[in-house]
Structure 1
Amino acid sequence: MKRLVVSLVAVALVAGCGVRPTEVLDGGAPASGIPEGMRIYFASDRGLRGVSRPDKEITELAAAVKLVMAGPNEAELVAGLTDLTAITGEFSASAIEGHVTLRLPRTPVTGVAGMAAGQLVCTLARAESLLHGTRPDAVRVTVVAQGGAVGPYQCSQFLTG
Protein backbone atom coordinates (compact mmCIF):
# COMPACT_ATOMS: atom_id res chain seq x y z
CA MET A 1 0.00 0.00 0.00
CA LYS A 2 2.83 2.35 0.89
CA ARG A 3 4.42 1.74 -2.53
CA LEU A 4 1.14 2.52 -4.25
CA VAL A 5 0.83 5.89 -2.44
CA VAL A 6 4.45 6.78 -3.25
CA SER A 7 3.89 5.81 -6.89
CA LEU A 8 0.73 7.92 -7.14
CA VAL A 9 2.53 10.92 -5.63
CA ALA A 10 5.40 10.47 -8.10
CA VAL A 11 2.97 10.28 -11.04
CA ALA A 12 1.21 13.43 -9.81
CA LEU A 13 4.51 15.29 -9.58
CA VAL A 14 5.54 14.24 -13.06
CA ALA A 15 2.14 15.16 -14.50
CA GLY A 16 2.48 18.71 -13.16
CA CYS A 17 -0.29 20.98 -12.02
CA GLY A 18 -2.19 21.19 -15.27
CA VAL A 19 -0.82 24.56 -16.38
CA ARG A 20 0.22 24.36 -19.98
CA PRO A 21 3.30 26.18 -21.23
CA THR A 22 2.79 29.32 -23.29
CA GLU A 23 4.93 31.50 -25.50
CA VAL A 24 6.66 34.56 -24.08
CA LEU A 25 4.12 37.33 -23.59
CA ASP A 26 4.94 41.02 -24.09
CA GLY A 27 4.05 43.01 -20.99
CA GLY A 28 4.09 46.33 -22.82
CA ALA A 29 6.09 49.42 -21.95
CA PRO A 30 7.57 49.73 -18.47
CA ALA A 31 5.72 51.81 -15.94
CA SER A 32 6.85 55.39 -15.72
CA GLY A 33 6.17 56.98 -12.37
CA ILE A 34 7.39 60.46 -13.14
CA PRO A 35 5.13 62.68 -15.23
CA GLU A 36 6.59 64.78 -18.02
CA GLY A 37 7.53 68.42 -17.58
CA MET A 38 8.13 70.61 -14.58
CA ARG A 39 6.65 69.78 -11.18
CA ILE A 40 6.73 72.05 -8.18
CA TYR A 41 5.90 71.18 -4.61
CA PHE A 42 3.57 72.78 -2.09
CA ALA A 43 2.64 71.93 1.47
CA SER A 44 -0.67 70.40 2.50
CA ASP A 45 -2.11 68.93 5.67
CA ARG A 46 -0.96 65.52 4.36
CA GLY A 47 2.62 66.56 3.54
CA LEU A 48 4.23 67.73 0.33
CA ARG A 49 2.31 67.45 -2.91
CA GLY A 50 3.76 67.87 -6.37
CA VAL A 51 1.80 69.71 -9.01
CA SER A 52 2.51 69.86 -12.72
CA ARG A 53 3.41 72.96 -14.60
CA PRO A 54 3.48 71.46 -18.11
CA ASP A 55 3.29 74.88 -19.76
CA LYS A 56 6.37 76.15 -17.92
CA GLU A 57 9.70 75.42 -19.53
CA ILE A 58 12.65 76.23 -17.35
CA THR A 59 16.12 77.04 -18.57
CA GLU A 60 17.76 77.58 -15.18
CA LEU A 61 17.31 76.36 -11.61
CA ALA A 62 16.31 79.81 -10.33
CA ALA A 63 13.23 79.68 -12.57
CA ALA A 64 11.99 76.66 -10.62
CA VAL A 65 12.34 78.58 -7.35
CA LYS A 66 10.36 81.46 -8.88
CA LEU A 67 7.55 79.04 -9.73
CA VAL A 68 7.33 78.02 -6.06
CA MET A 69 7.44 81.65 -4.96
CA ALA A 70 4.49 82.42 -7.27
CA GLY A 71 2.44 80.11 -5.05
CA PRO A 72 -0.38 77.69 -5.77
CA ASN A 73 -2.99 78.56 -8.37
CA GLU A 74 -6.65 78.98 -7.41
CA ALA A 75 -7.55 75.30 -7.83
CA GLU A 76 -4.51 74.25 -5.77
CA LEU A 77 -5.46 76.71 -3.00
CA VAL A 78 -8.97 75.22 -2.92
CA ALA A 79 -7.35 71.77 -2.67
CA GLY A 80 -5.51 72.92 0.46
CA LEU A 81 -2.05 73.55 -0.97
CA THR A 82 0.09 76.38 0.34
CA ASP A 83 3.59 77.80 -0.01
CA LEU A 84 5.49 77.75 3.28
CA THR A 85 8.73 79.17 1.93
CA ALA A 86 9.62 82.59 3.21
CA ILE A 87 12.14 83.69 0.61
CA THR A 88 12.97 87.37 0.81
CA GLY A 89 15.26 89.31 -1.47
CA GLU A 90 17.68 87.95 -3.99
CA PHE A 91 18.63 84.33 -4.44
CA SER A 92 20.67 82.13 -6.74
CA ALA A 93 20.80 78.42 -7.54
CA SER A 94 23.59 76.41 -9.10
CA ALA A 95 24.41 72.75 -9.67
CA ILE A 96 27.55 70.70 -10.09
CA GLU A 97 27.06 67.03 -10.94
CA GLY A 98 23.71 66.74 -9.19
CA HIS A 99 24.71 68.75 -6.13
CA VAL A 100 22.46 71.81 -6.06
CA THR A 101 23.17 74.84 -3.91
CA LEU A 102 20.43 77.38 -3.29
CA ARG A 103 21.74 80.65 -1.84
CA LEU A 104 19.27 82.86 0.03
CA PRO A 105 21.41 85.61 1.58
CA ARG A 106 18.48 87.66 2.93
CA THR A 107 16.26 84.81 4.05
CA PRO A 108 16.67 83.53 7.62
CA VAL A 109 17.61 79.85 7.76
CA THR A 110 14.44 79.31 9.87
CA GLY A 111 12.43 80.19 6.74
CA VAL A 112 13.71 77.08 4.99
CA ALA A 113 13.04 74.43 7.61
CA GLY A 114 10.67 71.46 7.55
CA MET A 115 8.16 71.37 4.70
CA ALA A 116 9.41 74.71 3.36
CA ALA A 117 12.81 73.09 2.79
CA GLY A 118 11.04 70.11 1.24
CA GLN A 119 9.22 72.34 -1.23
CA LEU A 120 12.51 73.78 -2.42
CA VAL A 121 14.46 70.52 -2.37
CA CYS A 122 11.88 68.52 -4.33
CA THR A 123 11.26 71.31 -6.82
CA LEU A 124 14.99 71.79 -7.41
CA ALA A 125 15.54 68.03 -7.72
CA ARG A 126 12.92 67.92 -10.49
CA ALA A 127 14.43 70.96 -12.20
CA GLU A 128 17.96 69.52 -12.01
CA SER A 129 16.64 66.31 -13.54
CA LEU A 130 15.03 68.17 -16.42
CA LEU A 131 17.95 70.52 -17.03
CA HIS A 132 20.90 68.15 -16.66
CA GLY A 133 19.48 64.64 -16.80
CA THR A 134 20.39 63.78 -13.22
CA ARG A 135 18.14 61.12 -11.70
CA PRO A 136 15.86 62.92 -9.20
CA ASP A 137 16.80 60.45 -6.45
CA ALA A 138 20.49 61.27 -7.00
CA VAL A 139 20.09 65.04 -6.57
CA ARG A 140 21.35 66.54 -3.30
CA VAL A 141 20.26 70.07 -2.34
CA THR A 142 21.94 72.37 0.17
CA VAL A 143 20.27 75.63 1.13
CA VAL A 144 22.60 78.38 2.33
CA ALA A 145 20.61 81.11 4.06
CA GLN A 146 21.15 83.93 6.52
CA GLY A 147 22.40 82.34 9.71
CA GLY A 148 23.48 78.97 8.35
CA ALA A 149 22.92 76.15 5.92
CA VAL A 150 20.66 73.11 5.80
CA GLY A 151 21.26 69.92 3.91
CA PRO A 152 22.34 68.35 1.76
CA TYR A 153 18.89 66.84 1.37
CA GLN A 154 17.21 64.47 -1.05
CA CYS A 155 13.57 64.91 -2.01
CA SER A 156 12.69 61.46 -0.65
CA GLN A 157 13.45 62.72 2.87
CA PHE A 158 10.40 64.99 2.69
CA LEU A 159 7.85 62.74 1.00
CA THR A 160 5.44 60.72 3.09
CA GLY A 161 3.67 57.52 2.12
Structure 2
Amino acid sequence: MTRRVLVAAVLLATLTACGVEPSGVLDGGKAPTGVAPGVTLYFVDTDGELVPNFRPTQRLSTVTDALNLLVASSGSPQNDGLHSAFAWQSALGRSPRVTESDELIRISLPLAKYEISALGVDQFVCTALGVHRQAGKPAAKVVVTYTIGGDTEPLTCPVLR
Protein backbone atom coordinates (compact mmCIF):
# COMPACT_ATOMS: atom_id res chain seq x y z
CA MET A 1 0.00 0.00 0.00
CA THR A 2 2.76 2.46 0.90
CA ARG A 3 4.48 1.81 -2.39
CA ARG A 4 1.26 2.57 -4.32
CA VAL A 5 0.82 5.82 -2.40
CA LEU A 6 4.43 6.84 -3.15
CA VAL A 7 4.08 6.05 -6.87
CA ALA A 8 0.79 7.94 -7.00
CA ALA A 9 2.36 10.95 -5.27
CA VAL A 10 5.28 11.01 -7.71
CA LEU A 11 2.93 10.73 -10.71
CA LEU A 12 0.67 13.44 -9.29
CA ALA A 13 3.61 15.78 -8.68
CA THR A 14 4.92 15.18 -12.21
CA LEU A 15 1.56 15.79 -13.84
CA THR A 16 0.77 18.92 -11.83
CA ALA A 17 4.18 20.61 -12.03
CA CYS A 18 4.23 24.40 -12.15
CA GLY A 19 4.20 24.50 -15.92
CA VAL A 20 7.37 26.56 -16.35
CA GLU A 21 9.20 25.36 -19.38
CA PRO A 22 12.97 25.57 -19.81
CA SER A 23 14.27 28.54 -21.74
CA GLY A 24 17.46 29.39 -23.52
CA VAL A 25 20.23 31.56 -22.14
CA LEU A 26 19.02 35.11 -21.52
CA ASP A 27 21.29 38.15 -21.86
CA GLY A 28 21.32 40.21 -18.65
CA GLY A 29 22.79 43.32 -20.25
CA LYS A 30 26.09 45.00 -19.47
CA ALA A 31 27.83 44.17 -16.23
CA PRO A 32 28.61 47.04 -13.85
CA THR A 33 32.05 48.51 -14.37
CA GLY A 34 32.65 49.96 -10.92
CA VAL A 35 33.27 53.41 -12.36
CA ALA A 36 30.86 55.98 -11.01
CA PRO A 37 29.49 58.59 -13.40
CA GLY A 38 29.53 61.19 -10.65
CA VAL A 39 29.16 62.07 -7.02
CA THR A 40 26.21 62.83 -4.75
CA LEU A 41 26.39 66.05 -2.77
CA TYR A 42 23.89 67.01 -0.10
CA PHE A 43 22.08 70.36 -0.15
CA VAL A 44 19.10 71.93 1.59
CA ASP A 45 15.80 72.19 -0.29
CA THR A 46 13.17 74.92 -0.02
CA ASP A 47 11.53 73.06 2.90
CA GLY A 48 14.78 73.12 4.88
CA GLU A 49 15.37 69.38 4.38
CA LEU A 50 18.69 67.79 3.47
CA VAL A 51 18.47 66.15 0.03
CA PRO A 52 20.92 64.35 -2.29
CA ASN A 53 21.93 66.05 -5.52
CA PHE A 54 23.86 64.05 -8.13
CA ARG A 55 26.72 65.83 -9.92
CA PRO A 56 28.24 64.20 -13.01
CA THR A 57 32.03 64.04 -12.71
CA GLN A 58 32.67 60.97 -14.89
CA ARG A 59 34.75 59.34 -12.15
CA LEU A 60 34.60 57.99 -8.66
CA SER A 61 35.33 60.88 -6.36
CA THR A 62 37.37 60.94 -3.19
CA VAL A 63 35.87 62.36 -0.02
CA THR A 64 38.23 65.35 -0.33
CA ASP A 65 37.20 66.00 -3.95
CA ALA A 66 33.51 65.73 -3.09
CA LEU A 67 33.80 68.15 -0.15
CA ASN A 68 35.74 70.61 -2.30
CA LEU A 69 32.95 70.39 -4.90
CA LEU A 70 30.38 70.94 -2.13
CA VAL A 71 32.27 74.04 -0.96
CA ALA A 72 32.62 75.35 -4.54
CA SER A 73 28.86 74.89 -5.03
CA SER A 74 27.91 76.62 -1.78
CA GLY A 75 28.20 80.26 -2.85
CA SER A 76 24.93 80.63 -4.69
CA PRO A 77 21.58 78.85 -4.87
CA GLN A 78 21.38 76.01 -7.37
CA ASN A 79 19.01 76.13 -10.35
CA ASP A 80 16.69 73.64 -8.68
CA GLY A 81 16.22 75.73 -5.53
CA LEU A 82 18.79 73.85 -3.50
CA HIS A 83 21.21 75.80 -1.33
CA SER A 84 23.85 75.33 1.34
CA ALA A 85 23.27 75.82 5.03
CA PHE A 86 26.78 77.23 5.46
CA ALA A 87 28.71 80.25 4.18
CA TRP A 88 32.23 79.45 3.12
CA GLN A 89 33.45 83.03 2.69
CA SER A 90 34.84 83.14 6.23
CA ALA A 91 37.21 80.26 5.42
CA LEU A 92 39.36 82.61 3.29
CA GLY A 93 39.77 80.21 0.39
CA ARG A 94 40.91 77.28 2.52
CA SER A 95 39.56 73.79 1.91
CA PRO A 96 38.39 71.14 4.35
CA ARG A 97 41.07 68.60 5.25
CA VAL A 98 40.09 64.94 5.32
CA THR A 99 41.65 61.86 6.89
CA GLU A 100 39.86 58.61 6.27
CA SER A 101 39.98 55.05 7.54
CA ASP A 102 37.45 52.26 7.07
CA GLU A 103 35.50 53.15 10.21
CA LEU A 104 36.17 56.87 10.70
CA ILE A 105 36.34 59.97 8.53
CA ARG A 106 37.75 63.11 10.14
CA ILE A 107 36.85 66.41 8.47
CA SER A 108 38.80 69.46 9.62
CA LEU A 109 36.83 72.58 8.71
CA PRO A 110 38.63 75.93 8.63
CA LEU A 111 35.68 77.42 10.50
CA ALA A 112 34.80 78.12 14.10
CA LYS A 113 31.98 75.96 15.42
CA TYR A 114 29.67 78.98 15.72
CA GLU A 115 30.12 79.76 11.99
CA ILE A 116 28.24 76.67 10.78
CA SER A 117 24.82 75.29 11.67
CA ALA A 118 24.05 71.66 12.47
CA LEU A 119 22.39 71.38 9.05
CA GLY A 120 25.56 72.71 7.39
CA VAL A 121 27.60 70.10 9.26
CA ASP A 122 25.15 67.43 8.06
CA GLN A 123 25.87 68.49 4.46
CA PHE A 124 29.55 67.66 4.97
CA VAL A 125 28.82 64.46 6.92
CA CYS A 126 26.31 63.08 4.40
CA THR A 127 28.47 63.96 1.39
CA ALA A 128 31.53 62.31 2.98
CA LEU A 129 29.65 59.16 4.01
CA GLY A 130 27.95 58.91 0.61
CA VAL A 131 31.29 58.91 -1.21
CA HIS A 132 32.75 56.49 1.35
CA ARG A 133 29.84 54.11 0.73
CA GLN A 134 30.01 54.59 -3.05
CA ALA A 135 33.65 53.44 -2.92
CA GLY A 136 32.49 50.15 -1.40
CA LYS A 137 33.94 50.80 2.04
CA PRO A 138 32.29 49.61 5.26
CA ALA A 139 30.00 51.75 7.37
CA ALA A 140 31.81 54.65 9.01
CA LYS A 141 31.19 57.66 11.21
CA VAL A 142 32.43 61.22 10.82
CA VAL A 143 34.13 63.48 13.34
CA VAL A 144 34.18 67.17 12.42
CA THR A 145 36.97 69.35 13.83
CA TYR A 146 36.70 73.15 13.95
CA THR A 147 39.44 75.77 14.25
CA ILE A 148 37.61 77.05 17.33
CA GLY A 149 35.15 74.85 19.17
CA GLY A 150 36.72 71.39 19.34
CA ASP A 151 35.47 68.19 17.77
CA THR A 152 32.03 66.71 17.34
CA GLU A 153 31.10 63.29 18.62
CA PRO A 154 31.17 60.63 15.86
CA LEU A 155 28.29 61.50 13.53
CA THR A 156 26.16 59.64 10.99
CA CYS A 157 24.07 61.05 8.17
CA PRO A 158 20.42 61.60 9.10
CA VAL A 159 19.23 60.83 5.55
CA LEU A 160 21.43 57.85 4.62
CA ARG A 161 20.11 54.48 5.75
In structure 1, the residue matched to 2:108 is 103
1:143 deviates by 0.5
* Aligned residue runs from structure 1 range 11-160, under 5 A: 11-15=11-15, 16-29=17-30, 35-44=36-45, 45=47, 46-54=49-57, 61=64, 63-71=65-73, 77-87=78-88, 88-89=90-91, 90=94, 92-98=96-102, 99-108=104-113, 111-113=116-118, 115-126=119-130, 134-135=135-136, 138-145=139-146, 146-154=148-156, 157-159=157-159
Gapped regions of structure 2 (runs ≥ 5): 1-6
Percent identity, aligned pairs only, is: 23
SS of the residue 1:125 aligns to: helix
- What is the alpha-carbon distance in structure 2 between the residues aligned to residue 112 and residue 34 of structure 1? 34
TM-score (norm 2): 0.62
- What is the alpha-carbon distance in structure 2 between the residues aligned to residue 158 and residue 33 of structure 1? 26
Question: Structure 1 residues 32-41 or 119-128, which shifts more?
Answer: 32-41
* CA root-mean-square deviation: 4.2
TM-score (norm 1): 0.62
| Aligned residue-pair number | 150
- Residues 1:81 and 1:147: Cα distance change in structure 2 (over 3 Å): same
SS of the residue 1:80 aligns to: coil
Gapped regions of structure 1 (runs ≥ 5): 1-6
Higher strand share: 1
- What is the alpha-carbon distance in structure 2 between the residues aligned to residue 102 and residue 159 of structure 1? 19
